[in-house]
Amino acid sequence: MPTFTSSNHTMSPEESYGRLDEFLYTNQNNAMSFTVDDDNHGMGLLCAHLKDDQTCATTVRLNKHQIGDFMRSHGFKCESPSLQDPSTAIRCVRPPMQQ
């Protein structure tokens, strides 16, 4: 597990995106899907749901919409939270490869 020099509460946006990059690189081949959520106070959570029914996660100083945009920029299709319940987590999957 990597070590980070800053706590989650003092993490810069650059450090947050770096952590997401590393987490995605580490888990993208074993994850069936990802979920994104936040605490509505500036801390976001990215969970990888792995093929062996395990889940791993990382926290960053970004909200779920910023993390969702990050996932979309890396080729994932992400569902938006429902308008009736904006607290719903965002689910992200990689679309099947086009042949």
CB atoms near residue 22 (< 10 Å): 13
* Structural domain spans, the chain: 8-93
Task: Summarize pLDDT for 3-37 with one digit per residue, the tens.
Answer: 444 455 689 999 999 999 999 999 999 999 999 99
Would you call 16 helix, strand, or coil by DSSP?
A: helix
- At 70, is the secondary structure helix, strand, or coil? helix
The model's pTM is 0.83
**Which tens digits make up the pLDDT trace of 62-95?**
999 999 999 999 999 998 776 667 778 999 998 8
More confident call, 29 vs 2: 29
